[in-house]
């Protein structure tokens, strides 16, 4: 593949992830048309948190908490902008350079969001950066080209220089879900091909976390959609970044097969939120936490907390206590 080297290996000895002790998560939007936002305390099911404004209809949006206090949501079908979701109203932030439905985003730093790919058009194999300046004004600029034409993929941050792309539908192969993974080096501006996933996977979640079972930095892939079988996936896959040459291994299956879930990393665990269980079963309102112990095993724990509205194709982001209001 032109411009892509192989194979990826990362020394993670100096990478430290913050372990989140008190975790509040803002969940917003839904492919089915739910416009409301809700805040959930992942550690106290009895906590009642603040309400946030409805952000209007967006299908398959993406976003992140920017500048530690601004919940930003972008894109979706028929949307070519980014907005800030507030307690009482939404505020326009910036327009995207291109329409980008079914894209994936990852936070580079507090002020920069990287948006990659799209389902159609010029955005398929390129990307853009949303940057908020010191004056509070935002701008959108084109970013690096992707190693493939893709949508329905997943992005995650490994460290301040290294970013991970997995799966999705390859537009250049009749939109078949791919097993491909890639790592981007921001300093050298190069993509490196990672090990293929064990399964074709699109519309999945991916997170980076410190796995207590192996005392190593891991990427975990969760759920998704298998295009060939047209089914949602209940499988998970782990990649140990301290020894990437061993490739992906299966982890514990999620309690319900889901596509288009959302997720957040708490540093040493991961919470999977909602997702579509299929046309007949509808959407999930469950929150399931992936917990790994010193006994070298990992398992899923279904939290007492649930979403007020079952959701799929939604956005979830951790927010600070003062913003959560609980």
The residue whose two tokens read 């913050």 is 18
Cβ contact 160:214 at 8 Å: no
Q: What is the mean pLDDT of each run of 10 residues along the chain (326 residues)?
A: 56 58 88 86 94 86 96 92 95 93 95 93 86 96 95 96 95 81 97 95 96 91 87 94 86 95 96 88 93 87 96 95 94
The residue whose two tokens read 């530690």 is 68
Query: What's the pTM?
Result: 0.93
Rounded to the nearest angstrom, the gap between the alpha carbon of residue 212 and the centroid of all alpha carbons in its chain is 22
Identify the pLDDT of residue 168: 94
Q: Are strands 169-170 and 176-177 parallel, antiparallel or unpaired?
A: antiparallel
Helix or strand or coil: residue 50? coil
Backbone angles phi, psi at 126, to 5 degrees: -130, -170
Cβ contact 141:108 at 8 Å: no
Distant-in-sequence contacts of 228-231, Cβ < 8 A, 24+ apart: 228/176, 228/177, 228/200, 231/257, 231/278
The residue whose two tokens read 């106290």 is 44
For domain 4-324, which CATH number applies: 3.90.550.10, 1.10.357.10, 2.120.10.80, 3.20.20.70? 2.120.10.80
Identify the pLDDT of residue 294: 73
Of 66, 134, 67, nearest to 105 (Cα)?
66
CA pair distance 312, 59, nearest whole angstrom:
9
Identify the pLDDT of residue 13: 47
Identify the pLDDT of residue 152: 94
CA pair distance 274, 309, nearest whole angstrom:
9
H or E segment to which residue 139 belongs: strand 138-142
Identify the pLDDT of residue 228: 75
* Sign of the torsion angle spanned by Cα atoms 60, 149, 167, 220: negative
Q: Please report which residue ranges of the chain form alpha helices under DSSP H.
A: 321-324
């Amino acid at each position: 593949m032109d411009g892509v080297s192989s194979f990826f290996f990362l020394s993670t000895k100096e990478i430290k992830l913050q372990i989140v002790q008190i975790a509040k998560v803002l969940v917003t939007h839904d492919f089915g048309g739910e416009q409301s936002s809700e805040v959930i305390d992942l550690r106290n099911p009895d906590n009642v948190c603040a309400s946030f404004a409805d952000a209007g209809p967006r299908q398959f949006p993406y976003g992140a908490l920017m500048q530690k206090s601004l919940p930003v949501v972008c894109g979706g079908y028929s949307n070519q902008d980014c907005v800030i979701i507030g307690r009482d109203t939404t505020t326009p932030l910036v327009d995207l350079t291109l329409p980008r439905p079914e894209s994936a985003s990852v936070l580079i730093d507090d002020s920069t969001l990287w948006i990659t790919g799209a389902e159609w058009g010029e955005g398929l194999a390129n990307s853009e950066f949303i940057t908020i300046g010191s004056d509070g004004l935002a701008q959108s600029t084109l970013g690096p080209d992707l190693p493939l034409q893709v949508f329905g993929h997943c992005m995650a941050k490994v460290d301040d220089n290294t970013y991970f792309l997995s799966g999705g539908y390859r537009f250049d192969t009749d939109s078949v879900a791919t097993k491909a993974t890639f790592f981007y080096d921001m300093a050298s501006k190069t993509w490196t091909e990672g090990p293929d996933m064990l399964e074709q996977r699109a519309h999945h979640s991916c997170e980076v976390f410190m796995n207590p079972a192996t005392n190593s930095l891991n990427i975990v892939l969760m759920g998704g959609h298998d295009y060939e079988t047209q089914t949602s996936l209940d499988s998970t896959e782990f990649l140990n970044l301290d020894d990437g040459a061993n490739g992906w291994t299966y982890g514990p299956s999620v309690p319900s097969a889901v596509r288009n879930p959302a997720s957040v990393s708490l540093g040493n665990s991961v919470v999977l939120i909602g997702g579509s269980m299929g046309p007949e079963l509808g959407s999930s309102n469950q929150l399931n936490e992936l917990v790994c112990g010193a006994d070298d095993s990992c398992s899923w724990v279904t939290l007492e907390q649930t979403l007020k509205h079952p959701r799929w194709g939604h956005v979830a982001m951790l927010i600070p206590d003062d913003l959560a209001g609980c």
